[in-house]
Structure 1
């Protein structure tokens, strides 16, 4: 019978040989999941034996991880700004970059009964986190995918936040309405770039990554379609591709954007794009 120590060593070495990022952390997270323990508690029982049934389940998860499957799918959950979210192959696994985007946005969003829409919401991570940190907000999650919305609804319930979920293409569900704040992490990968992405990405829904117009389709649409849906001085917070800053800046060239700026992520890549709207005088 293997001990926790032995299993962690064997699986870490195996994942390292398979060139998996952060092999030790992955091995620990998966064993903690199988044993229903917190990761750090593994080290309190380092020499404890692990039952054969649990070993078999652990080996199965390690094999899937070695093939590149995202850790979030294996654990079936992801943490995001004090929220615990269920994730499935119907949605992207929430990224650290998206967490940074929401953290930056929350500095500009007061806890008032304003309207916030989370477009292309996927798991609902952005809108749910905003509602949890700014409970007076009126938050709506919108996605084209029925399966993604079901995941988002479950996550809202699990995190005990009251949000509305609507299905539809980008702004279509909001006809006749206006928002004070908008989050959007749309597909932004060009078709020709998709095969070059890391293995993990190819386990996620393809349609959540790829966009037409060399990855710029949704920014072009937002620039054209947003104005009638915006309250005066509305703020928009977008995630963009690592080299799209200059192009997105050009797309939002109209004079009704009184502020627009591109921010970089921790790796120094273009990643966040912020806009502030001002109604043009008649």
Structure 2
């Protein structure tokens, strides 16, 4: 019978041979998930024998991880800000950069009773985090994918977040109200990168990843309509690709947004354009 430490060591070697980055952490997370404990708690029970009843499903998940199935899909959950959300193949796996976007917004001094839209909400982690942290806000989560919306609803129910509503919409096609703030993490990967994305990312829905030859097709459609759906003085916050900042800032300016600023993520990449609606777009823009 293998101990916890022996199982971690053996699984780590298996994942390393299959090119899995951060193999030891991956294996620790799989073992902790199977034993229903935290990763840190494993350090106090390295000598604990693992029963075959736990080893058998662990081997199945280990094989899947070695094949490139994302760790988050195998665990079925992910921590985002202060909450644990369900995640699966119905929506994009939440990225750390999106968590940074949420934290930027939560630092602002905004009205306690804002109407906010999360466009392209996916699993709902961004909009539901804002709704949880700002219970006076009414947050609308919209997505074109009924599967993603179902997952977002499940997450809202699990976290008992009452101030969120859900709307299936192709961008603003089904939106019939205006907002004090709009946040969006829309697909921004260029079609040309389809062949080069990692095998883990290939498990995300294509609908949540790709957006035309330069990755900006949806953003070009979205920004002009977002301007007209914002109340005067309303704010817009986006997450974009690593080389899209200047183009997106130009689109924002052409559509009439002001106070345009692009903040960097923790890796120093210009990732988060912010802007406000404070004037009408110029004639002919």
TM-score, shorter chain, exceeding 0.5: yes
1:270 to 1:195, Cα distance in 2 relative to 1, 3 A: farther
- Aligned positions of 1:139-178 closer than 5 A: 139-162=139-162, 163-175=164-176, 177-178=177-178
Q: Is 213-222 or 201-210 further displaced after alignment?
A: 213-222
Describe the superposition over 1:22-71 as per-residue Cα deviations: whole angstroms up to 9, x where unpaired. Answer: 11111011111111111111121111111112111111111111122111
**TM-score after normalising by structure 1:** 0.96
Q: Report what 1:27 is aligned to.
A: 27
Alpha-carbon offset, residue 111 of structure 1: 5.6
Describe the superposition over 1:71-101 as per-residue Cα deviations: whole angstroms up to 9, x where unpaired. Answer: 1101000010111101110111111000001
Q: Report what 1:107 is aligned to.
A: 107
Alpha-carbon offset, residue 151 of structure 1: 0.4
**TM-score after normalising by structure 2:** 0.95
Structure 1: gaps spanning 5 or more residues? none
For residues 281 and 84 of structure 1, what CA distance do their matches in structure 2 show?
Answer: 41
Task: Say yes or no: does 1:125 pair with 2:129.
Answer: no
1:255 to 1:75, Cα distance in 2 relative to 1, 3 A: closer
Q: Report what 1:58 is aligned to.
A: 58
Alpha-carbon offset, residue 186 of structure 1: 0.4
For residues 25 and 111 of structure 2, what CA distance do their matches in structure 1 show?
Answer: 36
1:5 to 1:111, Cα distance in 2 relative to 1, 3 A: farther
For residues 74 and 9 of structure 1, what CA distance do their matches in structure 2 show?
Answer: 19
- Aligned positions of 1:67-78 closer than 5 A: 67-78=67-78
Alpha-carbon offset, residue 223 of structure 1: 2.4
Structure 1 runs of 4+ aligned residues shifted over 4 Å read none
Q: Is 100-109 or 90-99 further displaced after alignment?
A: 100-109
Q: Report what 1:200 is aligned to.
A: 200
Q: Secondary structure at the match of 1:196?
A: coil
Q: Report what 2:251 is aligned to.
A: 251
For residues 16 and 109 of structure 1, what CA distance do their matches in structure 2 show?
Answer: 46
Contact 1:110/1:134 (8 A) holds in 2: no
Alignment coverage as a number of residue pairs: 281
Alpha-carbon offset, residue 234 of structure 1: 0.8
For residues 224 and 178 of structure 1, what CA distance do their matches in structure 2 show?
Answer: 14
Alpha-carbon offset, residue 255 of structure 1: 6.5
Alpha-carbon offset, residue 207 of structure 1: 1.0
Alpha-carbon offset, residue 268 of structure 1: 2.1
Contact 2:117/2:127 (8 A) holds in 1: yes
Alpha-carbon offset, residue 213 of structure 1: 4.5
